Structure 1
Amino acid sequence: MAAPLPTIPARSPRSRRRRVALVAITGVVLVVAIALAVAFAVGQAATAQPPGPGTRIVASDLSAATEAASDAAEGTAEHSAAQYLSEQPTMYWLLPEADPVGVVAERIGHLAAEARAQSARLGVVVYGLPGRDCGNHSAGGLDEDAYTAWTTAIGEALSEASDVSPIVVLEPDSLALAPECGNVADRVRQLSGAIDALASERTWIYVDGGHSSWLAADEMADLIDRLDAGDAIRGFATNVSNYNGTADEIAYAHEVADSSSGLHAIIDTSRNGAGATGEWCNPPGRLVGEPGGSLGDDVIDTNLWIKVPGESDGPCNGGPAAGSWWPESAIDLTRDVVTE
């Protein structure tokens, strides 16, 4: 007779429940891991895209508005205006005077950390080329060797911040002002070098595109095309630090793009809510414009607040030095959106 088969002990109900629980927990862990991986991939893909409608840049605690809000007495018009402006996503201006070569990487690192915390993108203006503003109200900048070192440091730091897909506006007024200053060749050389230093896969660079009341569109396009930047730049920025209405800037940007090699544009709407009077230096009665990320089409990537509302254009119409915080301007610009 064959030997009896060994008896397999029955699993207790408690053992079966434990096994089911372990399987369920493993399944949940796998689902969470997959979801996180998908979310990370989606986030990476989103930040790899060029700016567009819905783009949000960081509202930094390094802004002049934040400092002004902390200095002003609560309950005052000055505090209310500064507090409102400190909360609005606005480009941070990198200046060699405030952010020199030994400091600028740390500054960009701070901005990138803020962008991550806000689920926003890093947005900076690079403003320090030789002979900046042709000696006008925003005069300054670096000599060519120092400018090369400075933009190289910026480019390296932006590359480290690729996860927040930096948006760079490079040297406002530099190209549009060059014919008047008689230094087109110098500007093309300096900007071309800066583009080489700043360019990386996830950095979106926009060069100076003037504005609708300045150079003719074909002349502006020719200046941009002289950079021969190819895919290293996304396009050009218009209306930076000016007040022209959005519709005028959209039309102008389309004309420039049609005359250039397929470039895209962003428009500064930080102070154009009441349109322009033809005056560029602290004209009274202006208003903040559409929030960043409000618009876009096949040429206009989007609009952003590039010039910092509340900072003076220069010592004109009662304003302080260019770039200085001017409480009266902040109050005037926000009068339709801030109530005390």
Structure 2
Amino acid sequence: MRWIACPTVAVCAVVLLSPPATAASPISLTSGFYVNPSSAPAVWVQNNPNDSRRAQIQGSISSQPIARWFGNDANIASTVASHTGAADGQDKLPVLVAYNIPNRDACGGHSGGGAGSAGAYRTWIASFAAGIGTKPAVVIVEPDALAAYGCLTQVQRDEMAGLLRYATEQLKAKAPNTYAYLDAGNAGWGTPSTMAYRLNEAGVANIRGFSVNVSNYYTTSQSITYANAVNGFLGTARPFVVDTSRNANGRNSDPNGWCNPAGAKLGVTARTGGGAEMLLWVKTPGVSDGPCGIAPGTPAGTFNPDLAVRLINGT
């Protein structure tokens, strides 16, 4: 966080202890994106000093800004506060993913789970937002939740919409210097008009905008075209971000091409602009989508150095 000079100690105390009257851009409050020293690839690099793959993974992946995903955690407020505080101490902008909604990953199933009830989720997301507080941050809200409506009952859909709306309200109220983005699926999943309706229902007006291509492989150009189409149906266009972590070669034609496909390659690293508000590494490169594709023995959420190297080489 950048501090300002104050004429007196008393005035400083007021400035530092009082929350800002209006939300500030987390981009302007920081000097670049945060590199998490505890990301899965960074931990692997630390623990495998003699592995022949180490230099490649360190140079191309673990040294880059990557979002951190947060799930069920009884101490979520302190966990988030610690992470965002570490970034703030370096004047850097952290990217967080809130991923704990009930019926999570309803279609894919490999990352199922989430909070045990609607009430538990409300407590969790309120604590998540409080953990960020006034520190600058970017938050991707519940990847795939809106896109997966087709795999839910109507009762489950209604509950999810309400929980997402509550999440946007909590982030707006408790994390004023955060840019939050509701996830809007990807260019190959649903229609822009349908997604726009769901975004509005889920409270996108409460936050900065929406995210696309999270954990998927569509090119940046395809993703921008899709996002602009969604904006055409929203009523009020919103800023959007694109996950570029693995999209340099695009998505292949395999119906299961979302799950550890061969031939994927790292996309451009985190930056502002590029046709969207930000291009981000939301998915952690090298972390498995599930026991499928070229990593049939690697569970979802587990780092696989061979997957990482194949992403570096595009094989």
Aligned in 2, Cα 1:111/1:235: closer, same or farther, shift over 3 Å? same
Q: How does 1:171-320 map to 2 (within 5 A)?
A: 171-182=142-153, 183-199=156-172, 200-230=175-205, 232-260=206-234, 261-278=236-253, 279-293=257-271, 295-297=273-275, 300-319=276-295, 320=298
CA distance in 2, matches of 1:193, 1:70: 39
Aligned in 2, Cα 1:168/1:128: closer, same or farther, shift over 3 Å? same
Larger helix percent: 1
Give the paired residue count. Answer: 287
Match of 2:88 among 116, 134, 140: 116
Matched residue, 1:106: 78
Aligned in 2, Cα 1:265/1:292: closer, same or farther, shift over 3 Å? same
Match of 1:138 among 103, 111, 136: 111
Which amino acid in structure 2 is aligned with residue 286 of structure 1?
Answer: A
Deviation at 1:201, TM superposition (A): 2.0
SS at match of 1:173: coil
Which amino acid in structure 2 is aligned with residue 72 of structure 1?
Answer: N
Matched residue, 2:45: 69
CA distance in 1, matches of 2:142, 2:33: 19
Aligned in 2, Cα 1:215/1:251: closer, same or farther, shift over 3 Å? same
CA distance in 1, matches of 2:147, 2:27: 23
Identity of aligned residues (%): 28
- Do residues 87 (structure 1) and 63 (structure 2) align? yes
Contact 1:78 1:331 in 2 (8 A): no
For the aligned residues, what is the CA RMSD? 2.6
* Range 167-176 or range 75-84, more displaced: 75-84
Contact 1:55 1:293 in 2 (8 A): no
CA distance in 1, matches of 2:140, 2:147: 14
SS at match of 1:85: helix
CA distance in 1, matches of 2:163, 2:188: 25
Contact 2:149 2:157 in 1 (8 A): yes
Contact 2:165 2:201 in 1 (8 A): no
Q: How does 1:314-333 map to 2 (within 5 A)?
A: 314-319=290-295, 320-333=298-311
CA distance in 2, matches of 1:284, 1:79: 22
Contact 2:179 2:208 in 1 (8 A): yes
SS at match of 1:325: coil
Matched residue, 1:156: 130
SS at match of 1:167: strand
Deviation at 1:80, TM superposition (A): 3.0
The structure whose Rg is larger is 1
Which amino acid in structure 2 is aligned with residue 263 of structure 1?
Answer: R
Deviation at 1:314, TM superposition (A): 0.2
Deviation at 1:121, TM superposition (A): 0.8
Q: Deviations over 1:42-77 (max 9, x none)?
A: xx9xx922659x983211122101111012233511
> What TM-score, normalized to structure 2?
0.83
Matched residue, 1:11: none
- Do residues 57 (structure 1) and 29 (structure 2) align? no
CA distance in 1, matches of 2:68, 2:33: 10
CA distance in 2, matches of 1:112, 1:94: 12
CA distance in 1, matches of 2:84, 2:110: 30
Q: Deviations over 1:89-127 (max 9, x none)?
A: 01110011xxx132x222222222331343211210000
CA distance in 1, matches of 2:312, 2:272: 18
Contact 2:106 2:151 in 1 (8 A): no
Deviation at 1:321, TM superposition (A): 0.6
Which amino acid in structure 1 is aligned with residue 83 of structure 2?
Answer: L
Aligned in 2, Cα 1:194/1:33: closer, same or farther, shift over 3 Å? closer
> What TM-score, normalized to structure 1?
0.78
Contact 1:58 1:111 in 2 (8 A): no
Identify unmatched segments of 5+ residues in structure 1: 1-31
Identify unmatched segments of 5+ residues in structure 2: none
SS at match of 1:61: coil
SS at match of 2:180: strand
CA distance in 2, matches of 1:74, 1:119: 33
Detail structure 1 runs of 4+ shifted over 6 Å in the superposition: none
CA distance in 1, matches of 2:239, 2:27: 10
